[in-house]
Amino acid sequence: MMATTAFEQGTGYNVSSDVNLTSLRRVALKSDGSGLSLASDPTGTVNFLDMVNNLQGDSGRGYYIEMSIGTPGQKLNILVDTGSSNFAVAAAAHQFITHYFNTALSSTYSSTGRTVAVRYTQGNWEGELGIDRVSIPRGPNGTITINIAAILSSDGFFLPGINWQGILGLAYPVLARPDSSVEPFFNSVVKQLGIPDIFSLQMCGAGLSASSTTDTTGGSLIMGGAEPTLYRGSVWYTPIIEEWYYQVEVLKLEVGDQNLNLDCREYNMDKAIVDSGTTLLRLPVNVFNALVEAITRSSLIEEFSSGFWEGTKLACWMKGENPWRFFPKLSIYLRATNTSESFRITILPQLYIQPITDVDGTLDCFRFGVSSSTNGMVIGATVMEGFYVVFDRTQQRLGFALSSCAVSDGVALSEIEGPFSAADVAADCSGGPLKEPLVWMISYALMAVCALALLILLLMLILPCRCGNRNGEITDESSLVRHRIK
């Protein structure tokens, strides 16, 4: 659906500091004039204020919400993932989780007799499809009957240090497995509870160490609309160009004030999506290389190790030293609902140069929150933590506003500006013309891999084996990296 304005105000109601929040709880669901639901439902089905701070976690381990599953209810923490469409929970013991959903103890659980398997960018699982009742203690009031994938085995899906036991896929039915007949969780919520087909996310882990042993309040998942107290300023909208993932159209990227000057279709090959279940900002290989080159040119760091950019090394500074002042801002231009215009979302270095751990109390270490991707651009938690993101499925659009929690030491960690003219980019940047040779590229790549494998096998047969004992050896390549300042 095409709108006629470059951006729309996120709310027709300004919530000031002297607003009586108790009164706000009794305000009926209203529209801001553009279809965005605000405030609360007097029937008690939707009360946005009760949903505030209902998430825990951070970008390193994911953001999760507590749910009660089955009869009697079994409470589990469920990862919020806008990049998949299955609702799946552990239904068997696993070394990295503390408890699981015991289907035998639920009087309302029924198996459909169908098996299901899902593979993610990281990890996979297999199990059986079932149906049961679910409620969300800090979500819409009411109990719903939904499709549940009971996870019986997995590989690389549950990880050390996580505190969740399942995944809530919030994308569209076309991604559901084993097929689109499996109605996703949020579709069932909308249908059975009658709430608007809109949800919004605030993820508040910006600047938090992913190695922290405690889970502080991680944000909010608002089902049914948007909560005005969670963002500042206007909501800027970009069209959802295809309803499978939440696919958007990226027009250009900037590092500081440097435009990467790539064909806009490069940014969208083979798709550009917004995915809360992905930790990093993931970029197509050509885009990633151009971005790293631009950061290197503008950074105040010399002799920067390639391992840092590739995600194999951490960068460390003396404790208390501020590394973020050495790095530029990153900006993504999205097409506006008025397709002749765009707007820009910008993240400060605090969001993509991410604290990980300290070493012996003397060093603070950081990772690069951007990585290369072979399956399109993924706007993950690295970027989403700077914004309040509105998934307006009713009007097929995504909204971005400045998050109220994306602030560190009084400094806002994100920016939004616009509108800008989109006349300097193609009318369609969504990657269509570049997708045709993609199959050929993959074919050539596979042929090259096979040839290389045969060559290695041949060399192994011809050359004698020379082995050395490297037990415990630490070299410059395997240790944490420190960098000098220009």
CA dihedral (374, 379, 383, 388) in degrees, to 10, reads -170
**Nearest Cα residue to 3 out of 398, 346, 401:** 398
* Catalytic residue, candidates 32, 41, 58, 81: 81
Do residues 329 and 349 make contact, with C-beta atoms less than 8 angstroms apart? yes
Nearest-angstrom CA–CA distance, 110 and 397: 36
Q: How far is CA 107 from the centre of its chain?
A: 35
Q: Is 424 a catalytic residue?
A: no
Amino acid identity at 77: N
* Residue indicated by tokens 């459909």: 112
Do residues 440 and 279 make contact, with C-beta atoms less than 8 angstroms apart? no
Q: How far is CA 364 from the centre of its chain?
A: 25
Token pair belonging to 446: 């596979």
For 425, residues 6+ apart whose C-beta sits below 8 A from its C-beta are 251, 252, 264, 342
* Residue indicated by tokens 């990890």: 123
* Catalytic residue, candidates 132, 215, 275, 392: 275
Nearest-angstrom CA–CA distance, 21 and 25: 6
Q: Is 275 a catalytic residue?
A: yes
Where helices occur in 205-362 by DSSP H, the ranges are 264-267, 285-298, 306-310, 349-352
Nearest-angstrom CA–CA distance, 366 and 316: 6
Nearest-angstrom CA–CA distance, 46 and 40: 6
Q: In whole angstroms, how large is the CA radius of gyration of the chain?
A: 23
Half-sphere CA count of 27, side-chain side, radius 13 A: 17
Nearest-angstrom CA–CA distance, 331 and 29: 34
Q: How far is CA 262 from CA 213, 241, 248, 356, 428, in A?
A: 41, 21, 18, 32, 14
CA end-to-end distance (rounded Å), the chain = 50
CA dihedral (125, 84, 385, 20) in degrees, to 10, reads -110
Q: Which residues are catalytic?
A: 81, 275
